[in-house]
Amino acid sequence: MKHFQRVGIPFLLIFIAAATLAADQGSGKQAPSFVLPAQFGGWQLEGTVRTTKDPNIADPVSARVLNEYGFGDFES
């Protein structure tokens, strides 16, 4: 057990740090600003996209439920 603490834990920490740095670099592509794609399964985006983080705008009737479940983004 002492051998693992002396060798294994520092190795594990270095591995986690390297994996985190590699994940942060990514591919250099920026994610699209919309939640939904412009095309999907034969459907195409038409008109302008409305986005909001306000559950009252997304669904006035169920706003409390959306808020309770951690509503994040709405797009229509």
Does residue 51 lie within any of the structural domains?
A: yes
Domain that holds residue 52: 47-76
Does residue 6 lie within any of the structural domains?
A: no
Q: For residue range 47-60, what is the model confidence (pLDDT) as tens digits?
A: 887 888 888 888 88
Q: For residue range 34-49, what is the model confidence (pLDDT) as tens digits?
A: 667 778 888 887 888 7
Residue 38: the pLDDT is 79
| The total number of structural domains that make up the chain | 1
Phi and psi (nearest 5°) for 51? -125, 150
Residue 48: the pLDDT is 80
Residue 29: the pLDDT is 61
Does residue 35 lie within any of the structural domains?
A: no
Angle at alpha carbon of residue 36, lines to 47 and 46, rounded to 5°: 15
Q: For residue range 5-35, what is the model confidence (pLDDT) as tens digits?
A: 677 777 778 888 788 877 766 555 655 566 6
Residue 74: the pLDDT is 80
DSSP designation for 64: H
C-alpha to C-alpha distances, 59 to 45, 65, 66, nearest whole angstrom: 21, 10, 8
